[in-house]
Amino acid sequence: MPREIRFLNTASRRVETLDPLEKGHVRMYTCGPTVYNFPHIGNYRTFLFEDILRRTLKSFGYRVTQVMNLTDIDDKTIKGAAAEGISLREFTDRYVAAFFEDLDTLGVERAEHYPRATEWIPQMVKLVQRLNERGHTYVQDGSTYFRIATFPGYGKLSGIDVAQVRAGTRVDADEYEKEDVRDFVLWKAPKEGEPSWDTPLGPGRPGWHLECSAMSMGLLGESFDIHTGGVDNIFPHHENEIAQSEGATGAPFVRLWLHAEHLFVEGQKMAKSLGNFYTLRDLLEKGHDPLAIRYLLISVPYRQKLNFTSDGMHAAAAGIERIRNTMRRLAHTPPAAGEGSLPATAVGEFEAEFDAGLADDLNTARALAALHTLLTAVNQALDAGGIGAAARPLVDAALARVDAVLGIVPRVDTVHTSGVTATAGVGVVTASDTPAEQAEIESLIAERVAARAARDFARADEIRKELAERGIVLEDTPHGTVWHRTS
């Protein structure tokens, strides 16, 4: 039996328990990128929320089918390709590749399906034909529009007031504001310099909103469990998706609507004009660790605004370093004889709190706090009598679970135990260490151990400094001296 999980549903404005239409199988649609540029970190905040959602559901015992579309035809992609004088496909291929590279950098799990809008034109045309048959459309100057007055539920998701809308006023742009609520375009008449398909609706190309309705229902069925996006998508995009889908099928489109809040940078809305607009690549160029970026972007529950600051970036890096240090200490510390010093309830309490946080509308802040409480207990036990052989696998399993759900546990390199002396080094060997370098490092560590034993602290400090200059950090633990490379 999958574990219970609750979400705040944008549509009902209430907390609801997930109850998949098909037992144990969650079908979800996540609005993907418009592939005309490098997404900014606010976009990645949303994609990471969806990654945490998917990983949590799997960890709670659900099977997940996730669809993320790639919008490769809309006003913005057409404009971008035209500006460079290349084909739409050549232009969008570049940004599709960059998007997947970014997902890998951030450790985002792949969805089951990544449909490209240009490969779903026949299904989109069919959807418009169904809307025609049910009286929801009209044609003006070769374009087909959705008449919102024919769909009484229009406005329910976003809470807009449709009473003020003047019947028969239209909007052709893919993106527009709430003040502009009007009949929206389903199929656009051909324009000079724009790609166009010959279809039973006449020549032209799809509007952006139509794409998501056709691809989601095509891959997940006419009704499915979860639809997500950023709060920016609520109006008009998701409002229009509901109208198109339910208008065509007469069935409920989606059960739960989940929306990630905005990201601010140093308290301000990101804007190119303010110089605070960051893509993932900008942050990597500044030298930030992708794991720390991921940590920061998931650290605030998705329904709350996230303020991305340089202090926050440092705190996230420190959080990652704390996990890494604990993993290192665990890797090079043999199990304690007997029970050890870790309280018997520590891992169980962690698990209960971690799961309770996630089950509460993906409260990642609470899940992270549970992790840090566990790390404190583990480090205190390592400082004292160590962790017993029976408790050790439980700790390992808990950290593996954190990694499966949050994806923030750094890899710790193979641990190498020195044979020089009983108390000398245990090192973290990296690929760049040649056997000769290792031997040299270990002989210096052995010399330092001997110097300390002889109370020659001046020589011991000298060796520590010499190694530090070579990027090697020593840690003295109850189990001997441990070393690893910085960087």
Cα three-residue angle 147-246-188, rounded to 5 degrees = 45
Looking at beta carbons only, is 206 or 427 nearer to Zn ion? 206
Looking at beta carbons only, is 60 or 187 nearer to Zn ion? 187
Is 190 within 8 Å of 205 (Cβ atoms)?
yes
Q: Return d(Cα 286, Cα 273) in angstroms, integer.
A: 20
Looking at beta carbons only, is 175 or 321 nearer to Zn ion? 175
Q: Which single residue is written with the structure tokens 């891959």? A: 219
How do 205-206 and 183-188 pair as beta strands? Answer: antiparallel
Looking at beta carbons only, is 212 or 280 nearer to Zn ion? 212
Looking at beta carbons only, is 254 or 445 nearer to Zn ion? 254
Q: Which single residue is written with the structure tokens 């035209």? A: 82
Looking at beta carbons only, is 18 or 212 nearer to Zn ion? 212
CB of 31 to Zn ion, least distance (A): 3
Of residues 63, 53, 47, 11, the one with CA closest to residue 358: 53
**Residues between 286 and 315 with contacts to Zn ion, criterion CB under 5 A:** none
Q: Is 254 in the site for Zn ion (CB under 5 A)?
A: no
CB of 229 to Zn ion, least distance (A): 6
State the first-to-last Cα distance of the chain, in angstroms, to the nearest integer: 44
Q: Taking contact as CB under 5 A, which single stretch among the options 105-113, 146-154, 211-219, 451-459 is the one that binds Zn ion? A: 211-219
Looking at beta carbons only, is 70 or 449 nearer to Zn ion? 70
Measured from the Cβ of residue 389, the count of other Cβ atoms closer than 10 Å reads 14
Q: Where are the beta strands (DSSP E) in 364-449?
A: 415-417, 426-428
CB of 413 to Zn ion, least distance (A): 41
> What six digits make up the tokens of 31?
């609005």
What element of type H or E holds 6? Answer: strand 6-9
Q: How are the residues of the chain apportioned to helix, strand and coil, as percentages rounded to the nearest 5?
A: 45, 20, 35
CB of 177 to Zn ion, least distance (A): 17
DSSP three-state, residue 230: strand
What element of type H or E holds 269? Answer: strand 268-269
Pattern 7-46, Zn ion, x by CB under 5 A:
------------------------x---------------
Looking at beta carbons only, is 99 or 483 nearer to Zn ion? 99
CB of 30 to Zn ion, least distance (A): 9
CB of 32 to Zn ion, least distance (A): 7
CB of 238 to Zn ion, least distance (A): 7
Q: Taking contact as CB under 5 A, which single stretch among the options 72-80, 205-213, 327-335, 421-429 is the one that binds Zn ion? A: 205-213
Q: Taking contact as CB under 5 A, which single stretch among the options 73-81, 106-114, 116-124, 206-214 is the one that binds Zn ion? A: 206-214
Residues in the chain, overall count: 487
Q: Which single residue is written with the structure tokens 């329904």? A: 303
CB of 209 to Zn ion, least distance (A): 7
Looking at beta carbons only, is 233 or 333 nearer to Zn ion? 233
- By CB under 5 A, name the one of 5, 181, 212, 306 that touches Zn ion: 212
**Could you tell me the sign of the dihedral formed by the alpha carbons of 266, 268, 270, 276, in that order?**
negative
Kindly state the number of chain residues that form the binding site for Zn ion, as judged by CB under 5 A.
2
Amino acid at 168: G
Looking at beta carbons only, is 112 or 360 nearer to Zn ion? 112
CB of 149 to Zn ion, least distance (A): 24
What element of type H or E holds 375? Answer: helix 364-383
Q: Which single residue is written with the structure tokens 């500006």? A: 83
Q: Taking contact as CB under 5 A, which single stretch among the options 88-96, 140-148, 212-220, 286-294 is the one that binds Zn ion? A: 212-220
Residues 6+ apart with CB under 8 A from 285: none
**Residues between 63 and 102 with contacts to Zn ion, criterion CB under 5 A:** none
**Residues binding Zn ion (CB under 5 A):** 31, 212
